[in-house]
Amino acid sequence: LRTSINEKIRLCFRKGFLQLQDKKPEHPYGLQGTNHLLPGKGKVASKLPTKVLMKKDKIYAWCSCGYSGNQPLCDGSHNLVYIPDLKLKPVRFIPDRDMEVWLCNCKQTSNRPFCDGSHAQIAQIDKKAGLFD
C-alpha cells in the first residue's frame, strides 16, 4: 500500500519528528537558532556583499561555508564538502517585515549573515600581496 507524501509528513508531525518553524524572531531580523554564533569562517565566495530584498515570513538560509552555487544563500553544498574541525551550518532567518539587507559573501563577517565590512580587509591584504596591481 503506497502512502502519499502528505500522509507521511502528517505522521512525522504526530510522532514529533517534525515541528513547525517558529516565525517569531528569536533574535533581530528573525534569526533562528544559534548557527550564527558557530566558530570558524567559510571560504571567500566573493569580496563584495549582495543586496537582497527579503520578504516577510519567508525562510532564508545564508551560506556560511562559501561553497554554495547560489550565493549568498545555501544550496546544501556544505553536506558535500569535508572540512576537518569546521562545522559550518547555514544561518536561517525569517524576517518579520519586508526589508533590504546586505548579505555577506566573504564569509568573514562577525555579524552573520549580514555584511560588516570585513571584505575591505581582505581586499587590503590582496592589494599588499600585489594581486590587484
Residue pLDDT, tens place only, 72-90: 999 998 888 887 777 788 9
Helix (H, G, I), strand (E, B) or coil at 116: coil
Is 60 exceeded by the pLDDT of residue 129? no
Report the candidate in 115, 94, 93, 128 with the shortest Cα–Cα distance to residue 44. Answer: 115
Q: What's the pTM?
A: 0.69
Helix (H) or strand (E) holding 102: strand 99-103
Q: What is the mean pLDDT of residues 1-15?
A: 67
Residue pLDDT, tens place only, 91-119: 998 888 899 999 999 999 988 899 999 98
